[in-house]
Amino acid sequence: MPSRNGPLLRKHAGKNQEETQISDFQELLVDPPLQEIYNYWHSLLGGRRMPARKDVDPVQIPRYLSDLMLIDVQNDPRRFRYRLIGTRIVSASAEDRTGQFFDDVYFFKHYPETFEHYNLVVDNAAPHLSLEPFRNYSNNTSYQAKRLILPLANDGETVDMLMVYFHFTTGPFAKR
């Protein structure tokens, strides 16, 4: 059983020594929404390592938009900025972080390992699945959510954006 703050799965479909084959990674996605978002992302590859942001069509995934985020990736130095945050994520956290950098967000000061998951995806240009200790600081509640981070790259090689899907597993936002 994973620890409360630790990742559910440290495996990712990447190119380093801990490489997990794509089919093995897909087997880790036991929840249908996670499978569907991953399969959608994978269908956009078109022979590239990663799809581009322009390939993602919200019309194709309307039922998942409220649980999705788009994160800009800046390099030199590396920083992450919230570009778009789904409405259920905003409701669950009780804050809209759109436009903010991760290093300015209170959550990342308490859960630095979460920040490292995002770095892992950029470094390996590969998807990552983990258990997110999701916090609402306004009412001091905690939930658990499986977080699927999917890399996007305008040039098909260098990660410049992340598509992040939250599948809440506990609390009022868990779909039953």
Q: What is the DSSP letter of 72?
A: E
- CB 24 within 8 Å of CB 147: no
- pLDDT per position as a tens digit, 106-165: 788 877 788 889 999 999 999 999 988 788 888 988 889 999 999 999 998 999 999 999
Q: Is the peptide bond before 77 cis (omega within 30 degrees of 0)?
A: yes
104: its two tokens: 């300015």
> What is the mean pLDDT of the segment spanning 9-28?
52
Q: What is the pTM of this model?
A: 0.85
3 pLDDT exceeds 70? no
Pick from 151, 161, 120, 154: nearest CA to 42:
151
Give the model's pLDDT for residue 28.
85
Q: Which amino acid, one-letter code, is at 103? A: D
- CB 152 within 8 Å of CB 121: no
Q: What is the CATH number of domain 22-168?
A: 3.30.450.20
Pick from 20, 175, 161, 12: nearest CA to 82:
161
- pLDDT per position as a tens digit, 28-48: 888 999 999 999 999 999 999
Confidence of residue 20 (pLDDT cuts 50, 70, 90): very low
Strand partners, 72: 81, 161
Domain residue limits, the chain:
22-168
